[in-house]
């Protein structure tokens, strides 16, 4: 049970209802995470804009996005982010072997080098708050400077979202099992 009530459009002040509409339009409806976050409508709208960019607009390949976001969710023990993004990760080509390695904290060991570099980059950022030169250069060579920035924004967004939802105790919606074991 979430620590805050999930808000509907009618719960918001009239001047904030367009923010609800914008978030819902960008996602095909308003997911439970934003129904909790809308207690601060302007902050939620700003977060939604960044989320829409890293999810739908960044030119990063879907596989890279999936590797980074699942790694960030796992590091934050973010059940909601983990559970809600597994279908997209599978669509991006991540098999159960890779998803399980991320969940069990075995990655990047055993991953193909191109996948391992993305996971390593994410882990170094989130665990050491720095990225080793060799790791940074490998990812920079692969993605370019703009790609590195997009990757950093994606990691920051999903890690922040996972922590925020964890603090609010927002779990996956009914019928969406979380396979994230602590």
The residue ranges of every structural domain in the chain are: 9-57, 62-167
Q: Residues with Cβ < 8 Å from 10, sequence gap 6 or more?
A: none
* Segment 101-120 mean pLDDT: 96
Domain covering 62-167 assigned CATH 1.20.1290.10 in the classification: yes
The number of helix segments (H) and strand segments (E) in the chain equals: 8, 0
Average predicted confidence (pLDDT) for the chain: 95
181 pLDDT tier (thresholds 50, 70, 90): low
Q: Report how far residue 9's alpha carbon sits from residue 21's, in angstroms, rounded to the nearest whole number.
A: 8
Q: Report how far residue 107's alpha carbon sits from residue 10's, in angstroms, rounded to the nearest whole number.
A: 44
Q: Residues with Cβ < 8 Å from 8, sequence gap 6 or more?
A: 35
Quick one: pLDDT at residue 178? Answer: 78
Q: Report how far residue 54's alpha carbon sits from residue 60's, in angstroms, rounded to the nearest whole number.
A: 9
* Segment 74-103 mean pLDDT: 96
Q: Report how far residue 134's alpha carbon sits from residue 121's, in angstroms, rounded to the nearest whole number.
A: 10
Residue 182 has pLDDT above 60, yes or no: no
pTM of the prediction? 0.94
3-state helix, strand, coil in the chain (%, to 5): 70, 0, 30
Q: How far is CA 95 from the centre of its chain?
A: 18
């Amino acid at each position: 049970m979430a620590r805050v009530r999930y808000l509907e459009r009618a719960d918001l002040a009239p001047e904030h209802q367009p923010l609800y509409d914008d978030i819902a339009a960008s996602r095909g409806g308003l997911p439970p995470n934003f129904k909790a976050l809308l207690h601060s409508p302007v902050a939620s709208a700003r977060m939604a804009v960044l989320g829409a960019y890293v999810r739908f607009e960044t030119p990063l390949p879907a596989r890279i996005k999936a590797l980074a976001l699942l790694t960030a969710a796992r590091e934050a023990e973010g059940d909601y982010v983990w559970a809600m993004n597994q279908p997209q990760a599978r669509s991006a080509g991540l098999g159960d072997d890779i998803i399980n390695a991320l969940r069990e904290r075995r990655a990047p060991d055993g991953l193909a080098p191109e996948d391992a570099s993305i996971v390593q980059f994410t882990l170094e950022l989130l665990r050491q708050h720095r990225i080793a030169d060799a790791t940074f250069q490998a990812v920079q060579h692969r993605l370019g400077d703009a790609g590195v920035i997009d990757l950093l924004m994606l990691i920051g967004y999903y890690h922040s979202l996972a922590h925020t939802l964890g603090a609010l105790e927002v779990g996956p919606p009914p019928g969406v099992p979380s396979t994230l074991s602590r």
